[in-house]
Amino acid sequence: MDLKVPPFLVILIPLLLSYIGTGGDAAHSTASSPSPSPRPSPVARGPAPPVTGGGRSTLDPRQLTALQSIGLSTTRDPCALPSPHDNATACDSASPFRHLVSLRLANCSPDVDLSPTALSALYTLRSLSLLRCPIPAPRRLPASLASSLRSFSCVSSLRRLNGVMLSRLENLTDLVVVDVPVSASGPAVVLSQMHHLRSLTISRANLSGRLPHHWHTLDLVHLDLSSNSLKGSIPSTISVLGYLQTLNLSSNALTGTLPDSIGDLIFLKNATFSQNSLSGPIPNSISQLSNLTHLDLSSNQLNGSIPRFLSEMKELKFLNLENNSFQGAIPFNATSIKRLEFFKVGGNSNLCYNHTLLSSKMKLGIAPCDKYGLPVSPPPDKSSKSDSDYSDDDGEDDDNENEKKRSGGHHGPSKLVLGVAIGLSCLVFLVIFLVCLSRMCG
């Protein structure tokens, strides 16, 4: 009697194991998608002591008049917080009269006039921000205002800015000019006097000329000169900007190679060189950028092979190498690709993937490699299941090994069916076994 129990266990154990197997596989296949990036918090306002007196403002009367002359409603104390609507003001806490330290004008009516008198009265401003105020630019900024300003932001405002006028804002730490044409022979004109700049954005500004060879702005942390008409090469002297964390030079007409000295920018986190005419290889010095999280080299004429270190960089989350002339096998396997939240290599006709390391299912937009490390065939322009954006070569016909591996390893439903089938047959066997047992006993 006792001898009949072991076969009973022999049936139950595989039943249990197959159940656990399918469960584990299902959990594994729920891949996580990239998480949204946190947004920087808005600029903090100045201190806010309570307003004194029955509705009367404590603001310097000259500044109050200036605000009225540029069309700001002052029925409410401009020093009171929070500021209403799009327009915002902030004051210091001086007495008897307080002074404006920050002014933001948004969505101006077209008749607003930034007169020299008004601007002179605003000599205490440390921050001036204009958003969608397409009024004529003042011909010049009064010297006292120019030296007081630490932050100047002009987005879709003032119709046109003059590079020389901007250069007079010598004490700026933050400069933002977006969607406003800037006339200057190059960025060097704007930057010539600014020694304290930490963040510079001049984007979609039709800025022409070349990148500076001599940099005075050694404290720069953020540099964005994207979407302009900059030409020439990226100077190797850019490495003097030793605190840079973000560099965006995308959508210009830059030529030449990526300088080796870029590896000296050891704090670099985000680097974007997309949409230029850069050529040559990816410099090996990039492997020294241990904090690099975002690298966009797309739409250039870069060539050579893709260096292995790119698949080993711990912090890298975003890698776009699309639309270049890279060649050879990509140094990535499924694990190193999964670690990235964004990965694109399509549009490189001489690039291929090693089909023993990667499945065609990943839709990388490149062909598998032959044994010489060359793409097996030119990627077909019109594949049967054409996705208008990418010419995916799924290489399934010449890739039977992968086909097998996939259906065996990753298809959840087929594994589930198998498990259920085994389970059911075990159950039937168990019932027969128990019936036999009861007959023997009975």
Query: Between 127 and 166, how does the x/- string for binding to ligand NAG read (CB under 6 A)?
Result: --------------------xx------------------
Q: Binder to ligand NAG among 109, 384, 400, 438 (CB under 6 A)?
A: 109
> Considering only residues 311-330, where is the footprint of ligand NAG by CB under 6 A?
311-312, 317-318, 322-323, 329
Q: By CB under 6 A, is residue 279 in contact with ligand NAG?
A: yes
Of 50-58, 232-240, 285-293, 375-383, which segment contacts ligand NAG by CB under 6 A?
Answer: 285-293
**Which of 212, 347, 375, 379 forms a contact with ligand NAG (CB under 6 A)?**
347
Cβ within 8 Å of residue 343, ≥6 positions away: 319, 320, 332, 337, 364
In this structure, the chain runs to a length of 442
DSSP annotation of 97 reads S
The first and second tokens of residue 7, run together, are 């076969």
Three-state secondary structure of 185-224: CCHHHHHCCCCCCCEEEEECCCCCCECCCCCCCCCCCEEE
Please tell me whether residue 126 binds ligand NAG under the rule CB under 6 A: no
Number of CB atoms found within 10 A of residue 106's CB: 15
| CA–CA distance, 227 with 247 (Å, rounded to integer) | 13
In the shown chain, the binding pattern of residues 396 to 425 toward ligand NAG, with x for contact by CB under 6 A and - for none, equals: ------------------------------
* Rounded least distance, CB 390 to ligand NAG, Å: 8
Exposed, middle or buried, 351 (CB in 10 Å: 0-12/13-18/19+)?
buried
Question: How many chain residues touch ligand NAG (CB under 6 A)?
Answer: 60
Name the nearest CA neighbour of 226 among 282, 276, 292.
276
Nearer to ligand NAG, 18 or 296 (CB): 296
User: What is the C-alpha separation between 92 and 48, in angstroms, rounded?
Assistant: 8
Residue 376 sits in the site that holds ligand NAG (CB under 6 A)? no
Residue 338: CA atoms inside 13 Å, Cβ hemisphere, count? 11
Shortest separation between residue 411's beta carbon and ligand NAG, angstroms: 21
Taking the complex as a whole, how short is the minimal distance between the CB of residue 18 and ligand NAG, in angstroms?
Answer: 26
Which of 68, 185, 284, 356 is close enough to bind ligand NAG by CB under 6 A? 356
CB of 46 to ligand NAG, least distance (A): 16
What is residue 352's three-state secondary structure? strand
Interface positions, 164-223, toward ligand NAG (CB under 6 A): 170-171, 181, 203, 206, 208
206, 228 contact by CB (below 8 A): yes
Of 272, 324, 360, 402, which one interacts with ligand NAG (CB under 6 A)?
Answer: 272
Binding mask 215-234 for ligand NAG (x = CB under 6 A): -----------xx-x-----
State the Cα angle at 190 between 184 and 191, rounded to 5°: 145
103: Cα within 13 Å, side-chain hemisphere: 23
**382 binds ligand NAG, rule: CB under 6 A:** no
Q: Which residue has the tokens 């500021």?
A: 83
Which pairs with CB-CB distance under 8 Å and at least 24 residues apart come from 86-90? 86/131, 88/45, 90/45, 90/46, 90/127
Is 15 among the residues that bind ligand NAG (CB under 6 A)?
no
Q: From residue 240 to residue 269, what is the string marking binding to ligand NAG with x (rule CB under 6 A)?
A: ------x-x-xx--------------xx--
- Interface residues toward ligand NAG, by CB under 6 A: 37, 70-73, 85-87, 105, 107-109, 112, 147-148, 170-171, 181, 203, 206, 208, 226-227, 229, 246, 248, 250-251, 266-267, 270, 272, 279-280, 290-291, 293-294, 298-299, 303-304, 311-312, 317-318, 322-323, 329, 333, 335-336, 347, 354, 356-357, 369, 371, 373, 389
